[in-house]
Amino acid sequence: MLADSLKYILAAEHEANQLKLIVVNRSKETIDNAITDGEKSIKLAVKRAEEELEELQKTSDRKAMEEANELASSTANRLATMRARAERRADMVAGRIFERIIDVQ
């Protein structure tokens, strides 16, 4: 009877050790899978962030070009206005100078 009990206890210990090994191995697999999944998630998040940054940069560049074109157009219009005003004044001044020259003689 004692031998049977010892066999039963040893068999139970062996079974418990086997279960422990199975649990440890499954735990390691689960941890490895979690690490792999985490790395994939991080890579995906980084990729998305890079794509979003690239898109924002394109949008920013496009807006900057539009604003630069508007500013150039506005500056060209002001320059044309100033040039026209200067030409009118130059004609007016030339006319006055001409009048003074004629009046002097």
3-state secondary structure of 34: helix
Q: What is the mean pLDDT of the chain?
A: 92
For 6-42, write each residue's pLDDT tens digit: 888 888 899 999 999 999 999 999 999 999 999 999 9
For 36-57, write each residue's pLDDT tens digit: 999 999 999 999 999 999 999 9
Q: What is the DSSP letter of 105?
A: -
Show me where the domains of the chain are located: 1-80
Report residue 21 as tokens. 């090994």
10 vs 35: CA distance, rounded Å: 37
Backbone angles phi, psi at 82, to 5 degrees: -65, -40
Nearest Cα to Cα of residue 94 among 86, 82, 105, 104: 86
